[in-house]
Amino acid sequence: GAVVSQHPSRVICKSGTSVKIECRSLDFQATTMFWYRQFPKQSLMLMATSNEGSKATYEQGVEKDKFLINHASLTLSTLTVTSAHPEDSSFYICSARDPNRGPRGGELFFGEGSRLTVL
Amino acid sequence: GQQVMQIPQYQHVQEGEDFTTYCNSSTTLSNIQWYKQRPGGHPVFLIQLVKSGEVKKQKRLTFQFGEAKKNSSLHITATQTTDVGTYFCAGSYNQGGKLIFGQGTELSVKP
């Protein structure tokens, strides 16, 4: 089945530094990828929709200058948490749909997730 | 805004007992999907429901989509320890659009 790979799986950084998380679709091309954030024991909150070749669409309340998204190719989207602070510590997960499954193939394939800890 | 509400938040059952989680949207959904997330893992797709009143089964799991396409349920018959995890519903308000996740129901099963 379709595979989405995310890297790194865990990252610890100092407050004030920036962290980049990569999300790759391994066996399909994804013009759109979705970035979610999940706090412990909570739901997945959609942060933004990453669009290949154009600007990302951010959800209300998500700072676009804080969470930079780049979707430079059909198989790679990156999320950069800029000037990270302890409150940015969270589980970040990307996802994508496989267009080869047709218009009904709405299922999302998730990456393994990246656990960010900001000291 | 568009929200998908899910209850209960937690469910603790004895192995062999049944389990049900419910989802509700205030507005009509295009489709609803269900995911399972094991502790420490990422969500894995279970099923998608599209039609009004649709019922789908996967072995011991039964998924329903309401007639008004505003609510859905997941029922597990005779739970097993392998069913442990958090079950999320996720609704979409247009075909291929973004998914809005419910709060999830964490299921624990006592052997």
E strand or H helix at B81:
none
How far apart (Å, rounded) are the C-alpha atoms in residues B13 and A98? 36
**C-alpha triplet B5, A6, B97: angle, nearest 5°:** 40
Residue B36: per-residue pLDDT: 97
CB distance B33–A107 less than 8 Å? yes
pLDDT tens-digit map of B2-24: 789 999 999 999 999 999 999 99
pLDDT tens-digit map of B33-52: 999 999 989 999 999 999 99
CB distance A106–B103 less than 8 Å? no
pLDDT tens-digit map of A63-100: 999 999 999 899 999 999 999 999 999 999 999 988 87
Residue A105: per-residue pLDDT: 57
Nearest to B98 among A41, A46, A110 (CB): A46
Evaluate if residue A101 carries a pLDDT over 80: no
Locate tokens 């899910």: which residue?
B6
Whether the CB of B22 is below 8 Å from some CB of chain A: the reply is: no
Nearest alpha-carbon partner for B54 in B34, B37, B79: B34
Query: A1, A105 in Cβ contact below 8 A?
Result: no
Residue A31: per-residue pLDDT: 87
Residue A104: per-residue pLDDT: 52
CB distance B96–A60 less than 8 Å? no
Bond prior to B111 in cis (omega within 30° of 0) = no
Q: CA of A43 to nearest chain B CA: how many angstroms apart?
A: 5
Residue A53: per-residue pLDDT: 87
For residue A60, the chain B residues in CB contact (below 8 A) are 1
Whether the CB of B42 is below 8 Å from some CB of chain A: the reply is: yes
Nearest to B42 among A45, A104, A112 (CB): A112
How far apart (Å, rounded) are the C-alpha atoms in residues A24 and A31? 11
